[in-house]
């Protein structure tokens, strides 16, 4: 049903429309953004959102789970639970992200996610595709990924994974320096997939070569990669210096120090920083032990303490953190949660900005940047009532 959201400060690519209105058509697209107070169809429902900020929906290209649900379960119930949980924190679209695991388990998760993308509308955020993280990674930088299931990429196996995912894989994390890595970068790029360097011990020269074959992204920058050193810049330095690379960021103040968050934004600019949560199954649950990991004060580690193991971050908290850590304005930071991930996932034609003809995916924030309402394709999927 068409609807009008009136009297919000609307954040568009061309500036902020103060006390504006956004009209959604009967297909869940934005039909108009203009000034509130203009004539509207008297039969059209109007929601007065005075005092709120209407911003593009957050797009998370790196989610493993949340609220007890996991992508690797390979079940619609789990994908729907993830969708609903993250929608409550402003996420309107996400990529279901796999982990390094036995090949048959990865294929099962890919098939389930692909079916959900193509055949059903989840209860919260839209499942817009798949992020394959591993298994083609470097043992030295595996972090919390399974060491026993790391594999060498081959053309035939990649074709098998693409087929299992019904061409819904939009992002792949791999280590380009491993045997067959560069061939994998080229094959995936030619298949229309964005390729990311992550869990990688590559040198600066190896990353620069991979960029020549199509590498365009880095996974949770600074984490799970060869560090910046003045005699060998590594992947961390390459991400900072090479303009072709967009860098993911877990902005929880744990994975990356707040001062380094500011360094990344100052160096790359928000248009080349892609905010993610890397949220895992126990995100949103109480502190405690969960399988191979333990969570305390929101920090998630392997039980042996050897590595961080994902995060409990939400996109809304990442937004607030980034503003606090960098001193940048809301308007400046927003692309890193909206248009940048949309671009990297190949979704920018339909999502990532508030413009006529695009999907009506948006979030209403209060002045403290808390999520009040999340709308996906014109449908409210989360609402927090006023206290």
Whether residue 36 is annotated as binding a ligand: the answer is no
Q: Quick check: 219 and 62 in contact, CB under 8 A? A: yes
Q: How many CB atoms lie within 10 A of CB 166?
A: 15
Whether residue 253 is annotated as binding a ligand: the answer is no
Sign for the CA dihedral angle at 150, 152, 158, 160 comes to negative
Whether residue 133 is annotated as binding a ligand: the answer is yes
Of residues 60, 138, 278, 359, which has the active-site annotation?
Answer: 278
Q: How many CB atoms lie within 10 A of CB 384?
A: 13
Whether residue 224 is annotated as binding a ligand: the answer is yes
Our answer to whether residue 278 is catalytic in this structure is yes
In degrees and rounded to multiples of 5, residue 200 shows phi and psi of -130, 140
Q: Cite the beta strand spans of 52-182 per DSSP E.
A: 53-56, 58-63, 65-66, 69-70, 91-97, 126-133, 169-174
Whether residue 231 is annotated as binding a ligand: the answer is yes
Q: Identify the CA nearest to 1 among candidates 360, 355, 372, 347.
A: 360
> What's the gap between Cα 294 and its chain centre?
23
Q: Quick check: 236 and 260 in contact, CB under 8 A? A: no
Residues pairing with 15 in the sheet: 12
Residues pairing with 299 in the sheet: 296
Spatial CB neighbours of 87, under 8 Å, sequence gap ≥ 6: 123, 124, 125, 374, 376, 381, 382
Residue 38, helix vs strand vs coil: coil
Whether residue 51 is annotated as binding a ligand: the answer is no
Q: Quick check: 105 and 145 in contact, CB under 8 A? A: no
Whether residue 7 is annotated as binding a ligand: the answer is no
Quote the tokens at residue 194.
Answer: 């964005």
How does 298-314 read in b/e, with b if 16+ C-beta sit within 10 Å? Answer: eebbeeeeebbbbbbbb
Residues pairing with 9 in the sheet: 53
Binding site: residue ranges? Answer: 133, 144, 199, 220, 223-224, 231, 255, 308-310
Provide the annotated binding site for Zn(2+): 133, 199, 220
- Active-site residue list: 278
Point out the annotated binding site for substrate: 144, 223-224, 231, 255, 308-310
């Amino acid at each position: 049903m068409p609807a009008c959201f009136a009297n919000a400060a609307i954040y568009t690519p061309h500036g902020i429309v103060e006390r504006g209105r956004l009209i959604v058509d009967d297909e869940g697209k934005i039909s108009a953004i203009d000034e509130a107070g203009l004539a509207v169809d008297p039969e059209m429902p109007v929601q007065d959102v005075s005092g709120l900020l209407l911003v593009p929906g957050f797009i998370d290209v790196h989610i493993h789970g949340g609220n007890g649900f996991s992508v690797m379960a390979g079940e619609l119930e789990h994908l729907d639970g993830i969708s609903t949980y993250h929608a409550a924190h402003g996420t309107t679209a996400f990529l279901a992200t796999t982990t390094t695991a036995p090949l048959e388990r990865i294929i099962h998760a890919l098939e389930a996610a692909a079916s959900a993308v193509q055949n059903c509308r989840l209860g919260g955020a839209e499942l817009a595709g798949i992020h394959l993280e591993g298994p083609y990674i470097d043992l030295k930088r595996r972090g919390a990924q399974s060491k026993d299931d790391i594999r060498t990429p081959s053309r035939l196996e990649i074709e098998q994974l693409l087929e299992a995912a019904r061409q819904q894989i939009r992002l792949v994390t791999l280590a380009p320096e491993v045997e067959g890595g560069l061939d994998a970068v080229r094959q995936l790029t030619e298949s229309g997939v964005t390729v990311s360097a992550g869990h990688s011990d590559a040198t600066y020269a190896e990353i620069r070569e991979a960029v020549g074959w199509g590498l365009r992204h880095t996974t949770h920058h600074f984490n799970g990669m060869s560090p910046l050193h003045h005699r060998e810049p590594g992947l961390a330095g390459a991400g900072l210096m090479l303009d072709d690379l967009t860098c993911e960021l877990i902005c929880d103040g744990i994975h990356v120090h707040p001062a380094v968050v500011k360094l990344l934004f100052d160096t790359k600019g928000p248009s080349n920083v892609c905010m993610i949560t890397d949220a895992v199954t126990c995100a949103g649950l109480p502190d405690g032990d969960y399988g191979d990991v333990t969570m305390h004060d929101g920090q998630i580690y392997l039980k042996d303490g050897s590595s961080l193991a994902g995060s409990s971050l939400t996109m809304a908290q990442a937004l607030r953190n980034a503003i606090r850590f960098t001193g940048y304005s809301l308007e400046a930071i927003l692309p890193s949660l909206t248009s940048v991930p949309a671009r990297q996932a190949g979704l920018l034609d339909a999502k990532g900005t508030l413009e006529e003809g695009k999907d009506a995916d948006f979030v209403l924030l209060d002045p403290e940047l808390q999520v009040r309402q999340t709308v996906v394709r014109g449908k409210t999927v989360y609402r927090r009532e006023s206290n």
